[in-house]
Structure 1
Amino acid sequence: MIWKKKQAESLDKDLIAKYKLSPIQAKLFAIRGINTDQQLDFWLNDDESKLADPFLMHDMKKTVNRINQAIDKGEKITVYGDYDADGITATSIMVETLSILGADVDFFIPNRFDDGYGPSLERYQELVNNGTKLIITVDNGVTGIEEVNYAKKCGVDTIVTDHHIFQDEIPDAYAIVHCNYPNQDYPFDDYCGAGVAYTICRALMTDNMSELLDLAMIGTIGDMVKVSGEGHIIVKRGLEILNNTQRPGLRALIKNAGLELGSIDASDVGFAICPRINAVGRLADANLAVNLLLCDDEEEAEKLASIVEKLNDKRKQLTQEIFEICEKQIQQYGWQSKKTLVLYDHNFHEGVLGLVTNKIAEKYHKPTIILTEADNGELKGSGRSVVGFNLFNALIKLKGTVLTKFGGHEFACGLSLKKDSLVKLRNCFESSFQPVATSELVKMYDDELNLNDLTLDTYRQMVKVGPFGTDNPEPVFSITNPHISKLIKIGQNKNHIKMCVSNFSNELDLIGFDRSYLDTNILPYVHMIMVTLGINKWNNKAKLQGIISDFIFAAPPSLTSVRIVDLRNENYIMGFADRYLLFDKNSIEIANNIDNISSDKIILAADYMQNNESVVFLDTPTSKEQFDRVLNNDFNKIYLRFLIDPYPISKLPDRELFESIFNYIVNHPNLSLSDYKLVATYLGINYDCIKFVLRVFWELNWIDYDVKNELIKAITSPKVTKITDSKYFQAISQRLTFTDMLKNMSSDSLLKYIKDHNSNL
């Protein structure tokens, strides 16, 4: 990962004076290309009255006329929503407006577990049978070809309002209102479902409908659409409305979240309000959330909000429990060395799989799929990717063969498959992965943070360049050569850190989530810290704090004269060395998948021809002779890591394990190597360990391997030999012994050994 500082021409001094911009505001506006009088005036002063004419959106006039016709005739209207924060707020916006107009309106939110995502023919049939004459979809509908056709044949009109990508076929709806409809005149193309619903309501009411902006804003932040252009107005004004909201449901929700009206920002909405609304659809019936938002009775609102809070607590608990189970699976089966992860347990709760998948992918830096078992016996779940790997392209080719259902985009997906296709999915997913060179991955930061001038007022000035989100990212600042103190591990599992950076006159507390790898041994190597700024509110006091985005490491000046550095006890790769040497070619794929190492810095030790570089011994040499040969090179500095073991196993199996596997082969003849992947899970044994044992058995002529059919069976009367007679067993045993010696040798002894073999060091 490479961080580069954003560059931009300074803002015109007259504009700075006209809009009374502070230095940090002027800098951030310039970086974001908001550098003209018109752009600054829009950003700082425009409100909902400046939104485009809603009738510029495709089919808006038809939509308004049909809704008014339904109201005049007393026809029943059903709003068909979705179970996430966007779908719930879009439904609430539409129902509230139609109720004001006197419509006979009802709403339907699909159940995640019974109905799945999007239109359902069975539910459309129910709506038609219960007397609905007009269906209005919000935050869904563009995929409802069959459903819309059914309604039309029954004399029921459907108005599709959506923002998702059009498929090859477009529904034959009465009207389609879509923020990104091809060739329409509406100037903004990235509304969420709630934003489209709000636009329709502006048209229906011929009014700005400011009172709906709090809901439209929640949907916008929850669905991570643009907060630039008209999205900026929606979020900026929506936050103002929310901080003065009189909605009993939102007030109760805000109170339970520990937020205070008057000081809620976009981050609070994204990390406190949206997750609570989403928790309802993840674990229960999302109708509850709509009822909460539409509730006008304070006592009822408090009851509903209390239920939502309990669901959110359960959501967090389930997420952590499944996350821990997934981590145990990864450790138990040795999947840390895999390029991809496919994790499964029939007890996993479907509603939180997307959250867990995201956490696992972020922690292990691997494309990840997590599956559970559905009521119909199929496996279903979620996938998340990493930068540089297109998840959609890797899996779409499996639809109809390995996968029964699949949908998604580059970084996220949902999928289903038959249970007996799990091994094939793992194999196909693993073989599809092509690592991207991390040297190509570049992130941008805004500026160096000046601790001398850093105050709460600095943050308040910065906030006026927001609200921040998609297409207007939160500012990231660097702190170079920080003086760090007070490092502590926090959180229930001690997986987060809290630290303080300071200079002679000021200090700033920093929080780092999932940064438990940082310890006092690594602190001297911290060259830069990338942070975003926020407010920590505690006991009615507000204090500025930084949220750690990343660390950049470098060799500290104190180690300039030190030529050999022993970091064998650290698991984290800091990524600043000139070269990473591998003793075994089988370690290359694993090294390429380490997040902080550029692939162009990885080389086999046998091929290394450079001089005077800082190098890392990343894996373990397979023999003393190999190690000694490499030590003859002219190195400037050596970092000893030995993190990757280039062997199929980390320790030799005991006698009982050999007996257990052999008995299994006897009792289960003619299984393939692929079958033994399932056997590994069943027996609770690492698959690589099983392969090692099978290879030993094959060498000792205890098993027969049918190469043509790839089948394994035990030989009836094998020759009586010892496991230790296997040449393969002996070779691995010797390598493991040498590895253990290198890993456990005292630092002084190892450094002396290296110096004895390289006079330059």
Structure 2
Amino acid sequence: MLYSQYRWNTPHINLEAAAVLSQALSVSPLVGRLLVSRGVHNEQEAERFLHPDMNQMHDPYLLLGMREAIPRIKLALEREEHILIYGDYDADGVSSTSLMIHLMRHLGASYDIYIPHRSNEGYGLHNHALDWAHQQGVTLIITVDTGISAVEQIAYASTLGIEVIVTDHHEPPEILPEAYALINPKLPDCPYPFKGLAGAGVALKVAQALIGEVPGEWMEIAAIGTVADLMPLEGENRVIVSYGIESMRGSKLPGVSALLEISGVDQTQVTSVNIAFAMAPRINASGRLDHAGRAVSLLTTESLDEAHTLAGQLDLLNRERQQVVEGILQEATMQLELKIESRSGSVPDVIVLAGEGWNVGVVGIVASKLLERYYRPTLILGIDPESGVCKGSARSIEGLDIYEALTANKQYMDHYGGHPAAAGMTLHRDQLQQLETGLNEYAATVLTEADFIPQRLADDECRISDVPIKVIQEIDRLQPFGMSNPSPRFVFRKVTVKETRTMGRDKRHLKLVLEQEGQQLETVAFGKGALAEFLTPGSVIDVMGELSINEWNGMRKPQLMLQDIHVPGAQVFDMRGHADPLHAMKHFLSALDVHLRYKAGSIGAIVRKETNVSEGNSLYEPCLWVYDRKVGLFPCNAAAQQYGQEEVRTLFVFDTPETPEQLDAMLALFSGAENIILLHGSGNRLDRLQMPSRELFKRIYMLVFKWKAEPVVEQEMIPVLSRQCGCSPRMITMMLDVFEELSFITREDGMITVADNPPKRDLTSARHYQALEHMAETEQVMLDASTPQLTQWMISRMKGVS
């Protein structure tokens, strides 16, 4: 059995409402169910969902603070005041700043921009930046995607004679800054009907309040910020992103076209997925490794040549960012493994890791990767070795609001802010331990064991026959996909693997052809190439993934982008004859890491006394068991004695059982094993048994009968008989056992005496004959059978002894 990496949850759907909707819209029942699961319950709601329209946008003056802010901005324009746009360095901050630059240009304003350097300055407003603004003659600051927590800084700006309008979307703190105006849909008293705007979305509302209808290019920029900042793609955001993408497909912004080109995206087919995974990482790379101003220049330039130059620079920065992330990830993983080891193998409820020299611009990505692997709220911080200041990012799981967790431990930090799922913080290294302890104590009061099992929502369970190309085209009508409207995931159960192969230069990717009721579905899984050797043709599996249409050489086929896999029932993995069985065991455990659900005592190994597997493996020491002729199997290391056989779920067989009784004892003892991995070799062929037959026994008896005149030394007889009949000495010895049981011969003091008139007995009635037959069959199957034959034989034996 291979467990799925995630718990697959499918929503309860009102099938009656889905059927009515399907009929009313003339779409497939599957799409009707998808709409209902997304909160669309009638034809009117479906029209709004499927056809986002500018009429669905809300009046910007419903935002608290807008009626104070707009007159002040207009007054600044009339007085020709110098305005400062103060932004943030992530993709939303870049988009918000860029949108406001386009607005300032449109208004003919005198303006400057300021975005703090992520590593050197950190998030938010800074007094030294306000001093610089004062020197530049700034009298009005408009913040975008930041400022809602800047109580002290905005108070300081007031002493300089600078008024501040805050536009932000982050969670407001208990104490708000005394700014000229605060515009944030999440403010407690704000009546704005939609709370999910990104920073760029709030900036867009300011633009709408000032000039009314905005150019399509500005919607493009707002769409980038909305998607990149993982805002819910529902309500007003759905309109912003839909219009933004439509404009982007024929964009007049040189920076957008150049960025799509360098990312390898067909501009005419751009989607929200392309924004999230192609555009956003490159924009973010600017603020992570350099300065976000480079990305702002890209989104605001009017020169195509400059756009191509800047896009190329961002692409190089993104490649560098990937390398930096990998380096930090390796160091952080080693640090965490040591921490887990010191905790007797348990992972902390909240992971807190920090390192000197870790680039604070990428620690959030590292946190996301560790969360994906360990499924724990994770904080990764970079430490300045000179000052001891730590700056970091947090990513959290569904069960823990990380902003609330940080708020409960705010005494340990100089600054923090964020959302329920992600946050940033600054503190001194002396406070790290207290913060880690405090967060884990808080998590212990909030999280349960169930919260630590990752789950992934699947929209529906269906069959391959349910998803022809026509239905997949209908599903595409639900775009744009993103937060709160994810690309639909489907579960297909009991599909048969017809073909398996790897793809890519390093064979990192997996391609399967699945079949069900005569219908086939091609499946691609990026980064899962290691599974190829464990998913043999004929395997019956369950899969979850997203559907798309694969176009190649004029052919169009349905395709599943596989995200998770589950193999139900016990499995036998044939890895016989591996040159290095211990290495093979470690490879198995590493390749199938997330699909085995390790826990202490869950890995077992069976060996003969002379086989050495004492190295164990890097995660858990295997429970080691040894064959014994008298007791069958007995535990021979501390892990086996501590945990016993009941906990073993993955069993490695390094050596074949010596008897059928040992095989049955093994299967009975480890009846809870879900995976049996056979690592034994082919054995010594000179010592092999062969299936007994009357003809063979008759031939051997005729040779033995020649010695009837006098007793013969058994050890002299055996090699002679072996040479004459081509049987192994071991086979000859066991056949002599049969002759002895039937009174054809007698043994005494190493001598064999042949009976003159042996009784007539049926060979097959002899207990030793039956044992030889069973042993020969066991040996033949264990050593020589094909993988399908061996698998079927083993599983049938497992059922027989369970």
Distance 2:515 2:667 in 1: 43
Distance 1:136 1:157 in 2: 9
Partner secondary structure for residue 482 of structure 1: strand
- Of 515, 527, 530 in structure 1, the residue corresponding to residue 544 of structure 2 is 530
Q: Report the alpha carbon displacement of residue 387 of structure 1 after superposing the two structures with TM.
A: 4.5
Pair 1:5-2:10 in alignment: yes
Partner secondary structure for residue 326 of structure 2: helix
Q: For residues 556 and 133 of structure 1, do their structure 2 counterparts lie closer, same or farther at Cα, with a shift above 3 Å needed? A: same
Residue number in structure 1 paired with 2:723? none
Q: For residues 114 and 582 of structure 1, do their structure 2 counterparts lie closer, same or farther at Cα, with a shift above 3 Å needed? A: closer
Judge conservation of contact 2:571–2:674 (CA < 8 Å) in 1.
no
Q: For residues 537 and 204 of structure 1, do their structure 2 counterparts lie closer, same or farther at Cα, with a shift above 3 Å needed? A: farther
- Of 482, 503, 521 in structure 2, the residue corresponding to residue 469 of structure 1 is 482
Residue number in structure 2 paired with 1:554? 568
- Of 141, 154, 157 in structure 1, the residue corresponding to residue 160 of structure 2 is 154
Q: Report the alpha carbon displacement of residue 182 of structure 1 after superposing the two structures with TM.
A: 2.5
Q: For residues 379 and 459 of structure 1, do their structure 2 counterparts lie closer, same or farther at Cα, with a shift above 3 Å needed? A: same
Residue number in structure 2 paired with 1:98? 104
Partner secondary structure for residue 33 of structure 1: coil
Distance 1:19 1:546 in 2: 25
Give per-residue Cα distances to partners, 1:435-470, cap 9 Å, x unaligned.
Answer: 733388654322234323544443321111221222
Give per-residue Cα distances to partners, 1:104-146, cap 9 Å, x unaligned.
Answer: 1221111101220111121112112210111101111111111
Distance 2:603 2:457 in 1: 35
Give per-residue Cα distances to partners, 1:613-650, cap 9 Å, x unaligned.
Answer: 99745799xxxxxxxxx9999875434789xxxxxxxx
Distance 2:403 2:676 in 1: 36
Pair 1:55-2:83 in alignment: no
Pair 1:284-2:290 in alignment: yes
Q: Report the alpha carbon displacement of residue 30 of structure 1 after superposing the two structures with TM.
A: 2.1
Residue type of the partner of 2:104?
Answer: L
Percent identity, aligned pairs only?
29
Judge conservation of contact 1:448–1:478 (CA < 8 Å) in 2.
yes
Residue number in structure 2 paired with 1:722? none
Residue number in structure 1 paired with 2:362? 352
Residue number in structure 2 paired with 1:368? 378
Distance 2:443 2:641 in 1: 26
Distance 1:94 1:510 in 2: 44
Q: For residues 215 and 489 of structure 1, do their structure 2 counterparts lie closer, same or farther at Cα, with a shift above 3 Å needed? A: same
Residue number in structure 1 paired with 2:137? 131
Pair 1:337-2:350 in alignment: no
Residue number in structure 1 paired with 2:115? 109
Q: For residues 428 and 542 of structure 1, do their structure 2 counterparts lie closer, same or farther at Cα, with a shift above 3 Å needed? A: farther
Residue type of the partner of 1:339?
Answer: V
Q: Report the alpha carbon displacement of residue 284 of structure 1 after superposing the two structures with TM.
A: 0.8
Distance 2:336 2:529 in 1: 18
Give per-residue Cα distances to partners, 1:201-233, cap 9 Å, x unaligned.
Answer: 111002254331111111110111111111111
- TM alignment of 1:202-217, pairs within 5 A: 202-217=208-223
Distance 2:556 2:422 in 1: 36
Q: For residues 139 and 541 of structure 1, do their structure 2 counterparts lie closer, same or farther at Cα, with a shift above 3 Å needed? A: farther
Distance 2:190 2:398 in 1: 33
Q: For residues 404 and 103 of structure 1, do their structure 2 counterparts lie closer, same or farther at Cα, with a shift above 3 Å needed? A: closer
Distance 1:299 1:306 in 2: 11
- TM alignment of 1:498-517, pairs within 5 A: 498-503=511-516, 506-515=519-528
Q: Report the alpha carbon displacement of residue 304 of structure 1 after superposing the two structures with TM.
A: 1.3
Q: Report the alpha carbon displacement of residue 558 of structure 1 after superposing the two structures with TM.
A: 9.3
Q: Report the alpha carbon displacement of residue 334 of structure 1 after superposing the two structures with TM.
A: 6.7
Structure 1, gaps ≥5 residues long = 560-565, 585-589, 592-603, 621-629, 643-746
Residue number in structure 1 paired with 2:169? 163
Judge conservation of contact 1:393–1:410 (CA < 8 Å) in 2.
yes
Q: For residues 290 and 442 of structure 1, do their structure 2 counterparts lie closer, same or farther at Cα, with a shift above 3 Å needed? A: closer
Q: For residues 420 and 203 of structure 1, do their structure 2 counterparts lie closer, same or farther at Cα, with a shift above 3 Å needed? A: closer
Q: For residues 444 and 378 of structure 1, do their structure 2 counterparts lie closer, same or farther at Cα, with a shift above 3 Å needed? A: closer
Judge conservation of contact 2:241–2:480 (CA < 8 Å) in 1.
yes
Q: Report the alpha carbon displacement of residue 422 of structure 1 after superposing the two structures with TM.
A: 5.7
Judge conservation of contact 2:91–2:283 (CA < 8 Å) in 1.
yes
Distance 2:332 2:501 in 1: 26
- Of 236, 240, 245 in structure 2, the residue corresponding to residue 234 of structure 1 is 240
Residue number in structure 2 paired with 1:661? none
Distance 2:119 2:216 in 1: 35
Residue number in structure 2 paired with 1:483? 496
Judge conservation of contact 1:568–1:640 (CA < 8 Å) in 2.
no
Judge conservation of contact 1:568–1:641 (CA < 8 Å) in 2.
no
Indicate the larger mover: 58-67 or 376-385.
Answer: 376-385
Give per-residue Cα distances to partners, 1:329-358, cap 9 Å, x unaligned.
Answer: 556787493413544442332211111221
Residue number in structure 1 paired with 2:309? 303
Q: For residues 539 and 352 of structure 1, do their structure 2 counterparts lie closer, same or farther at Cα, with a shift above 3 Å needed? A: farther
Give per-residue Cα distances to partners, 1:657-715, cap 9 Å, x unaligned.
Answer: xxxxxxxxxxxxxxxxxxxxxxxxxxxxxxxxxxxxxxxxxxxxxxxxxxxxxxxxxxx
Judge conservation of contact 1:218–1:274 (CA < 8 Å) in 2.
yes
Judge conservation of contact 2:21–2:32 (CA < 8 Å) in 1.
no
Pair 1:118-2:131 in alignment: no
Pair 1:89-2:95 in alignment: yes
Residue number in structure 2 paired with 1:436? 448
Judge conservation of contact 1:525–1:556 (CA < 8 Å) in 2.
no
Distance 2:557 2:419 in 1: 39
Residue type of the partner of 1:528?
Answer: D
Distance 1:181 1:266 in 2: 28
- TM alignment of 1:701-740, pairs within 5 A: none
Partner secondary structure for residue 253 of structure 1: helix
**Equivalent pairs, count:** 624
**Rg larger in 1 or in 2?**
2
Distance 2:273 2:15 in 1: 29
Give per-residue Cα distances to partners, 1:701-746, cap 9 Å, x unaligned.
Answer: xxxxxxxxxxxxxxxxxxxxxxxxxxxxxxxxxxxxxxxxxxxxxx
Residue number in structure 1 paired with 2:388? 377
Judge conservation of contact 1:616–1:641 (CA < 8 Å) in 2.
no
Pair 1:201-2:207 in alignment: yes
Q: For residues 537 and 406 of structure 1, do their structure 2 counterparts lie closer, same or farther at Cα, with a shift above 3 Å needed? A: farther
Distance 1:488 1:244 in 2: 39
Partner secondary structure for residue 194 of structure 1: helix
Q: Report the alpha carbon displacement of residue 161 of structure 1 after superposing the two structures with TM.
A: 0.6
Judge conservation of contact 1:157–1:173 (CA < 8 Å) in 2.
yes
What's the TM-score once normalised by structure 1's chain length?
A: 0.72
Distance 2:408 2:29 in 1: 52
Residue number in structure 2 paired with 1:638? 673
Distance 1:46 1:422 in 2: 47
Indicate the larger mover: 454-463 or 270-279.
Answer: 454-463
Residue number in structure 1 paired with 2:189? 183
Distance 1:759 1:23 in 2: 44
Partner secondary structure for residue 224 of structure 2: helix
Give per-residue Cα distances to partners, 1:463-485, cap 9 Å, x unaligned.
Answer: 11221222222211011112224
